Amino acid sequence: MGFGAWKGGVFAAVLVLLLLVVVVALFAGLVARPALS
C-alpha cells in the first residue's frame, strides 16, 4: 500500500464524512422547520 493509495483512502474518508454531515444537516433542517413554524 503506497502513499497514493493512503492519500486516496483519506480523501474517500473525508468525502464520506462531508456527505454524512450534509445528510445530517438536511435531516435536522427538515425536523426543525415544522417545530419552528
Q: Would you give per-residue pLDDT tens digits along the chain (37 residues)?
A: 677 888 989 999 999 999 999 999 999 999 888 776 6
Residues in the chain: 37
- Taking the CA of residue 4 as centre, how many other CA atoms within 13 Å lie in the half-sphere pointing to its CB? 0
pLDDT score at 1: 60
Domain count across the chain:
1
The beta strands (E) that lie in 1-37 are given as none
d(CA 3, CA 37): 51
pTM across the whole model = 0.64
- Domain range enclosing 20: 1-36
pLDDT score at 4: 80
